[in-house]
Structure 1
Amino acid sequence: MRALGANVVLAPQVEGKPGNVTLADVTQAENLGLKLVADTGAYYVNQFNNDDNSKAHEEHTGPEIWRQTGGHIDVFVATVGTAGTFAGVSRYLKKQNKDITCVVVEPEGAQVIKGDPVTKPLHVLQGSGYGAVPQLFKFDTMDTTVGVSDEESIKYRNLLAEKEGLYMGYTSGANVAAAVKLLSSGKVPKDAWIVTLLNDSGLKYPADN
């Protein structure tokens, strides 16, 4: 971003560490962003609370998935960060077919959407599992949740690279791990069509995992 001319302001972490971001860290960054808006008049995207976030996924990502699968989809699986992607895509898909099962993926130990207490705020799923239900999340678009461990996320992140040539981040690994767990659990048919997302590149993550 600096190379493109942006003025990058880094917010010091409160309780997390590089590679682990908590809700307190996100709040710190939000507060710093709001101060910059007040001081400079800059525009604050406010991705965690901006309805345009989920609206964009309802109007674009959801229809793209529907087109590319020819409407042949049984299950949609995704991690939740801001909840914009999950809320928007799930809302669109259920309008097309109310029987599509929409599944939230959460890191084990931070499954607040499931209703469990947070016992592991530090995990490898960057951009997800902050220990609070995001404002954009709507429970009426969710059917169930699946918990994924750090080890499972790392395993499937590595498999994506080794088997598919896709060097992705940990949330991508978690999404694929959750899809495999669902198929193995017997909760969905063995021939179910499961759609998930590969969220980001693995270039900013350690290579030793």
Structure 2
Amino acid sequence: MESLNPGGTGKDRAAWNMIRTAEQQGRLPLPQTGTVIVDNHDLLLHPSLKQRRQQPKQQRYNASSDEDGSTTMETKLDEMIIQAMERSRTGGMVVEGTSGSTGIALATLCACRGHACLVILPDDQAIEKQTILRSLGAVVMQVPTASISNPYHYVNLARKAANLARDEYNVPAVFMDQFENEANFDMHYRTTGPELWRQLAGKIDAFVMSSGTGGTIAGVATFLKQVQPNIRIVLVDPPGSSLYHKVEHGVAYAPQQQERTLRKHRYDTIAEGIGLDRITQNFQLGLDGIDAAIRVSDQEAVDMAHWILTTEGLWIGSSSAMNLVGAIRTALDMPVGSHVVTMICDGGQRHATRFWDPTFIEKWGLQWPQQGCIPECIQSIV
């Protein structure tokens, strides 16, 4: 039940380790405990950043635009950096490109550590995530979805913003880079895996879950395989993601990557925060320990979410629903008495306007479950 973490998801673990690692390495200022917080944020701003802030906002946005729009984008990033740094109590800033959950975890921690938090968010995420981020004090910049090869992909823009703040304004700004930052994998290897092993007294026969950055499944898989090599590790993958074929066939490809059929540049699913069109460093670290992959459809996830709400009283998000489908399908292929573990990544509160909205579901060509609907993976055993 990673949804019960303070920030509401399992991303709290990775966010905590990434921030603490950056502080220990001197890339972020260490919070000063026992001191009075200074209200005059001018004391924390680099002179060139102060000068930019003093310009009328309209003047900041009037910079001429290159043909590719790069000057305009840099001007917008300037504005976001200024807004974020006005909220910093340490003079440091955390920057991340995220589909929401990691940003929320970072924003929660930045609120107590005192760092500014700037989040670059793709525009295909539930509006609830933006609202939460802003409530936590983060500055949010929403951008259109794009391929990772596009310079305007949300991750690439986050990296650019951190570099701009650091190079132009001398701000201790850190791009968290959750997809490639090994502090993500490390946290799950050192804490999540051992917790599961300890709590279940070593009675784990399979671990099943989806992958976003890859840090959780890779870290947990690596630990579990070390203590018990026979544990089966199964990846759950949504439509359009390349990871299924990477695990099953050794090639990172999905049919939806054909430009004619691709709905979204990243992947083709209603699930948020999981599935990917590339192999991240975090996922690569645990790839050898993943034994199999299961493709779960959007309709299966929707049906499972409604079924688990009516049978267990759990209001879950899209990735959690896919995890449950994968866990049940894995369990049905294992001996009676096997112990199968999966993750409830987050709650349905963050998905009310998408995954839990009948109009949205039907626009995607899916069916809103009727009362008494039983997911296909369970029909054979009820």
Q: How far apart are residue 26 of structure 1 and its match?
A: 10
- How much has 1:6 moved relative to structure 2? 1.8
1:119 and 2:255 correspond: yes
Task: Tell me how far 1:23 sits from its aligned partner.
Answer: 5.2
Match of 1:56 among 187, 204, 229: 187
Superposed CA deviations along residues 117-158 of structure 1, whole A, max 9, x for unmatched, are 312331122111122222222321111111111111111111
One of 141, 147, 151 as aligned partner of 1:9: 141
1:34 to 156, 159, 171: 159
Match of 2:112 in 1: none
Tell me by how many angstroms 1:4 deviates. Answer: 2.6
RMSD: 2.0
1:19 aligned residue: none
Q: How far does residue 34 in structure 1 lie from its aligned partner after superposition? A: 1.2
Structure 1 residues 194, 24: CA separation in 2 closer, same or farther (over 3 Å shift)?
farther
Equivalenced residues, count: 200
Q: Structure 1 or 2: larger helix share? A: 2
Structure 2 counterpart SS, 1:13: coil
- Aligned equivalents of 2:316 and 2:271: distance in 1? 12
Match of 1:155 in 2: 303
Q: Is the 8 A contact 1:80 1:105 kept in 2?
A: yes
Tell me the CA shift for residue 181 of structure 1: 1.2
Q: 1:84 aligns with which of 183, 203, 215?
A: 215
Equivalent of residue 128 in structure 1, options 266, 269, 274: 274
TM-score calculated relative to the size of structure 2:
0.49
Aligned-partner SS, 1:98:
coil
Q: Please, which moves more after superposition, 3-12 or 164-173?
A: 3-12
Structure 2 stretches of 5 or more lacking a match?
1-132, 167-172, 257-266, 359-367, 369-382
Does the CA contact (< 8 Å) of 1:58 and 1:89 recur in 2? yes
Which amino acid is 2:180 matched to? N
- CA deviations on 1:92-127 (whole Å, 9 max, x unpaired) are 111111111111111244333233631233112211
Query: How far 1:25 moved relative to its partner?
Result: 8.3
Q: Contact (CA 8 Å) 2:209, 2:327: kept in 1 or not?
A: no
- Shift of residue 77, structure 1, vs aligned partner: 0.2
CA contact (8 A) 2:182 2:281 kept: no
| One-letter code aligned to 1:112 | H
Q: Show the counterpart of 2:82.
A: none
TM-score between both structures, scaled by the size of structure 1: 0.87
Q: Aligned partners of 1:25 and 1:128: how far apart in 2?
A: 20
Alpha-carbon distance in structure 1 between the residues aligned to 2:228 and 2:151: 35
Partner of 2:226: 95
Secondary structure of residue in 1 paired with 2:174: coil
- Flag the 1:98–1:60 CA change in 2: closer, same or farther, 3 A: same
